[in-house]
Structure 1
Amino acid sequence: MTLLVSAVTRNHAFHASDQLVTYGHADLTVEHDTRANKTIVIIGSDCWLVLGYTGVAYLDGRPTDQFIAEAVSGVADLSCGGILMRGLGQSLRIHFEEIGRRIVESVDAAFRRLPRAAQKHKLILIGSGLQFTKPTWRHIIFQVEFNKEGWDSVGDPGRGPSWNSYALNAAGDVQKPIIKRAHERIKAEGAESPERIRSIMVDAVRETGAASKLVGENVISVILAPEQSEIGVYFHLSDAGPAIELPSANPDRVLPPPAVYTPFVLLPSAVHCPSIASAGVSRVDGLALKFHGPSSTVGGGFLHGYDREPPPRVRRG
């Protein structure tokens, strides 16, 4: 379980999620992965999207976020971390409908391959974004649920919130008073401020994590700003940790301290895989991927993959 919060308003889309993966065993909730990525940014030919998952954390033996990223990008193995650059003539340019088709068809097929016992659990994807239709952009906010009966989308995918309003959706371990309070705070404090909206969404995940064994307090959040050609990635490290691992244990190798866990970011010419990174900017395909965190006194930047946890092996009996 986890908590995902997505929102969209005017020319920005937002997402926030925790990093905790748990499983149930002998009526207990067991922590399995405290730094799991659940977020995927996709830059399509006609849209910018950010989505996340809650529920089933592994498909075909791979983390669910990795499975989805591979299905959309067409890259067979994205387990390496770091940045994968596409070769000349291999740029990925797919439209919104094709992105949705690849996700639904691949995830549904993999869900059917799960053991019957695992299919009693759900897998929910939620996300938000902007589609560049004319004369005005279209807001996108969506939710798709996969279960043993099949899959279904929630809401009317042909309609979106009006340009001057905002929409917010949450899935996972949703505690209604917390999400209601986030709605009220955005209306009262931050409907005109992208950074304020993101901050309120992060607070909702953190507050839920403090009260729930199923949600962590470390939070990855994203702001999509296509008018500025910017993707903002933020990481909030809770006092409870765990801390981000250092890039090197060698005292003679001084590197900028990592400040951010990064999500999947699927760009036309590159794939950014979940990594640890220092604050800074990566520029690809004419846009800026900005990692926000504490600034470093050491020059340069750092981005490197980290080991993803394999599926849990639960002893029976």
Structure 2
Amino acid sequence: MTLLVTAVARNHVFHASDQLVTYGHAGLVVEHDRRANKTIVIVGSDCWLVLGYTGVAYLDGRPTDQFIAEAVSGVADLSHGGVLMRGRGQSLWIHFEEIGRRIVESVDAAFRRLPPAAQKHKLILIGSGLQFTKPTWRHIIFQVEFNKKKWDSVGDPGRRPSWNSFALNVAGDVHKPIIKRARERIKAEGAESPERMRSIMVDAVRETGAASKLVGENVISVILAPEQSEIGIYFHLSDIGPAIEPPSADPDRILPPPAVYTPFVLLPSAVHCPSIASGGVSRADGLALIFHGPSSTVGGGFVHSYDREPQPGVRRGRPKRAVAAIREVGSAWTRRCTCWRRG
């Protein structure tokens, strides 16, 4: 379980999630991974999106976020962390509907391959984004749920909001009073400032984490700003940790201090995998990924892989792959959308 908070307002997109993965055993909640990534940013040909998952944490023996990133990017193995650069002629330049089709068809096929006992649990994806339509951009906010019977989605793909409106959605271990306060704070003080809105969403995750065994207090958050060609990646480290592991124990290898856990970021010519990074800027495809953290006293910067926890009961190592079919199904992703709650 987790808490995901996703939103779109004016010309910005926002997302915040914790890092904790748990499972039930003998009626108890057991911590499995306190550094899990649940967030995926996608830059498409006609949209910028960010999404996250809650529920089933592994598909085909891989972390669910990794499975989704592989399905969208077409890269067979994204388990190594760091940055993967695409070769000439391999650019990923796909539109919103194709992104949705790849996600839904691949995840649904993998969900059906789960053991019957695992299919009793749901997998929920929520996300938001901006689609660059004319005469004005469209706000996208969606939710897709997979269960043992079917998959279904809700959303508002045709939303063309007034300048001062926003849309916000949550999923996971939702404490309604906390989310209600967050909505009220956004309406009162957050709509004018992207940074303030992101901060309010982070506070909601942190407050929930302090009250729930199912939600962690370390928070990864994102701001997408297409007009500035910027993706902001933020990490809040709680007092109870876990701390960010250093990239090297070698005293002769001086590196900037690690400051940020990063999500998946799928760009046309590069894939940024979940990693640890120093604060700073990485540039690709004419846009900037800005990692927000303490400034370095060394100079330069880095993005470095870290070990992700395997599925419970499985030793570390590369799992055997099961191919997830991506079938042509027309525009099911768009057809099955209905109206979603607005801010």
* TM-score interval for Structure 1 and Structure 2 normalised by the shorter chain: over 0.9
Query: Residue 142 of structure 1 corresponds to which residue in structure 2?
Result: 142
Conservation of the 8 A alpha-carbon contact between 1:3 and 1:170: yes
SS of alignment partner, residue 109 of structure 1: helix
Conservation of the 8 A alpha-carbon contact between 1:140 and 1:160: no
Instruction: Note the 1:1-317 alignment, pairs <5 A.
Output: 1-159=1-159, 161-313=161-313
Conservation of the 8 A alpha-carbon contact between 2:136 and 2:160: no
Question: Which residue identity does 1:100 align to in structure 2?
Answer: G
Residues 75 and 242 (structure 1), Cα distance of their counterparts in 2 relative to 1, 3 Å cut: same
Deviation at 1:313, TM superposition (A): 1.7
SS of alignment partner, residue 198 of structure 1: helix
State which drifts further: 249-258 or 87-96: 249-258
In 2, Cα distance between the equivalents of 1:150 and 1:157? 21
Conservation of the 8 A alpha-carbon contact between 1:62 and 1:311: yes
SS of alignment partner, residue 90 of structure 1: coil
Question: Which residue identity does 1:229 align to in structure 2?
Answer: S
SS of alignment partner, residue 234 of structure 2: strand
In 1, Cα distance between the equivalents of 2:162 and 2:264? 28
In 2, Cα distance between the equivalents of 1:33 and 1:299? 31
Question: Which residue identity does 1:23 align to in structure 2?
Answer: Y
Instruction: Say what the alpha-carbon RMSD is for the aligned residues.
Output: 1.0
Conservation of the 8 A alpha-carbon contact between 2:138 and 2:158: no
Question: Which residue identity does 1:126 align to in structure 2?
Answer: I
SS of alignment partner, residue 154 of structure 1: strand
SS of alignment partner, residue 22 of structure 2: strand
Question: Which residue identity does 1:240 align to in structure 2?
Answer: I
Deviation at 1:164, TM superposition (A): 2.9
SS of alignment partner, residue 216 of structure 1: coil
In 2, Cα distance between the equivalents of 1:29 and 1:96? 37
Over residues 111-130 of structure 1, what are the superposed CA-to-partner deviations in whole Å (9 max), with x where a residue is unaligned?
00000000000000000000
Question: Which residue identity does 1:291 align to in structure 2?
Answer: F
Over residues 197-252 of structure 1, what are the superposed CA-to-partner deviations in whole Å (9 max), with x where a residue is unaligned?
00000000000000000000000000000000000000000000000001111112
Q: Gaps (5+ residues) in structure 1?
A: none
Report the TM-score when normalising by structure 1. 0.98
Q: Gaps (5+ residues) in structure 2?
A: 315-343
Conservation of the 8 A alpha-carbon contact between 1:130 and 1:138: yes
Report the TM-score when normalising by structure 2. 0.90
Conservation of the 8 A alpha-carbon contact between 1:209 and 1:216: yes
In 1, Cα distance between the equivalents of 2:61 and 2:80? 15
SS of alignment partner, residue 232 of structure 2: strand
Conservation of the 8 A alpha-carbon contact between 2:141 and 2:155: no
Over residues 155-181 of structure 1, what are the superposed CA-to-partner deviations in whole Å (9 max), with x where a residue is unaligned?
444446444300111000000000000
Deviation at 1:254, TM superposition (A): 1.0
SS of alignment partner, residue 37 of structure 1: coil
Conservation of the 8 A alpha-carbon contact between 1:244 and 1:276: yes
Give identity over the alignment, percent.
90
In 1, Cα distance between the equivalents of 2:162 and 2:29? 41
In 2, Cα distance between the equivalents of 1:109 and 1:248? 39
In 2, Cα distance between the equivalents of 1:270 and 1:294? 25
Conservation of the 8 A alpha-carbon contact between 2:260 and 2:292: yes
Question: Which residue identity does 1:194 align to in structure 2?
Answer: P
In 1, Cα distance between the equivalents of 2:217 and 2:160? 31
